[in-house]
Amino acid sequence: MSTDYINDAGRKAKGERPYFLADQQTEQLLNITMALAQELAVTRERMDTIERLLESGNGVTREAIENYKPDPVAAEQRQLWHQAFIARILRIIQQNREDITERANGQDSMDAVVVKVST
């Protein structure tokens, strides 16, 4: 027995994979997009580490990057960055949620609004 740690990491779990969006390929594209978002977040966290090491003036080496542990203030700032990043990526979902309530509260369609302000 042996393992290819790159290919095996991405193996499928046994069992029918559910799809939720109207189109399966659109959902596959969502998965690719979210994976890219994850990797961008990883790169951003690494840049943050390099910036903080530079500020500390103790030298930036790959070893220093690997061993870096944020203090509580830095940890909170980095987690807040992830939150803001995710909120930006998923803005359309937030607005979808707001739209549901806006319609429930009686917001007119744009067709109706145009007629209303034009007459």
Size, binding site for other proteins by CB under 8 A: 55
Please report how many Cα atoms fall inside a 13 Å half-sphere around the Cα of residue 70, on the Cβ side.
Answer: 15
Q: How far apart are CA 25 and CA 39, in angstroms?
A: 21
List, as one string, the DSSP characters of 95-106: HHHHHHHHHHTT
CA atoms within 13 A on the CB side of 27: 8
The number of CA neighbours under 13 Å toward the Cβ of 58 is 10
Select from 18-26, 52-60, 107-115 the region that touches other proteins (CB under 8 A): 18-26
CB of 87 to other proteins, least distance (A): 7
Q: What span, in angstroms and rounded, lies between the C-alpha atoms of 94 and 38? A: 19
Residue entry with tokens 């302000």: 117
Taking the complex as a whole, the smallest distance from the CB of residue 28 to other proteins amounts, in Å, to 10
Judged by CB under 8 A, does residue 11 bind other proteins? yes
| Binding region for other proteins (CB under 8 A) out of 19-27, 52-60, 108-116 | 19-27
- Residues within window 35-54 making contact with other proteins, judged by CB under 8 A: 35, 37-38, 41-42, 45-46, 49
Residues that bind other proteins (CB under 8 A): 1-3, 5-6, 8-15, 17-22, 27, 30-31, 34-35, 37-38, 41-42, 45-46, 49, 65-66, 68-70, 72, 75-76, 78-80, 82-83, 86-87, 90, 93-94, 96-97, 100-101, 103-104
